[in-house]
Structure 1
Amino acid sequence: MGPIFLVSNSILFLGILVGIAILQIFLSSKENKKLGFILPGINFVVSILVALIYLLNVTLLDVSIFIGIMIVFIAYNVPTVILVAIYYACRNKYNKKHDINKMNIQDLD
């Protein structure tokens, strides 16, 4: 594997992450509040499925195995937390703009 291949994979991975963040900002900025929870919801469901797959592949449930499954679950939910933070930041900005528009309309009356 050459260094050019590794760099191109890194750039592709970064592009995907930036695309997901832009999509989350776009969905969170819409009037419908529920659209912003699509990506965090998908990520949360995937994290539950991964934890269940690890749990089902275990023959003997030990404390260390349980802790490992919890670490995997938490690690898979880091992007969920980031996406929810993006959602609340965008919704806060949207709500302020919406309130200013309401005040401007009331001033016209």
Structure 2
Amino acid sequence: MDKRQEMIHMCKELRLPSIRAFIQEEAMWKNHKTAEDFLYHALMQEMQDREVRAKSNRIRLANFPEKKLLTELEIERLPQNAASRLPQLKTLDFIKEKQNVLLIELIS
């Protein structure tokens, strides 16, 4: 087994899918002249991909009964308090401020 195949195998064992994909791409070997540069970009890609997967997992594990876009909300069916706050939600500032938003449907 050559070194590249061995690295791919190690990435599988260590569960580093982004680095494995990085190693498998022939263009990546040509674009990065030094081992330090290659490793830096491979690790950066792994970190970015893990962040995306972590967000997806948190959403999946939240077990939301249904997903709905803000544009799909029926404003006339919202309580007055919620309808008045909808423009503020649409700015998405709560994301920048790392605030949680819970929308609960009350069945009467």
- Superposition TM-score, scaled by structure 2 size: 0.31
More helix by share: 1
Larger RCO (alpha carbons 8 Å, 6+ apart): 1
- Superposition TM-score, scaled by structure 1 size: 0.30
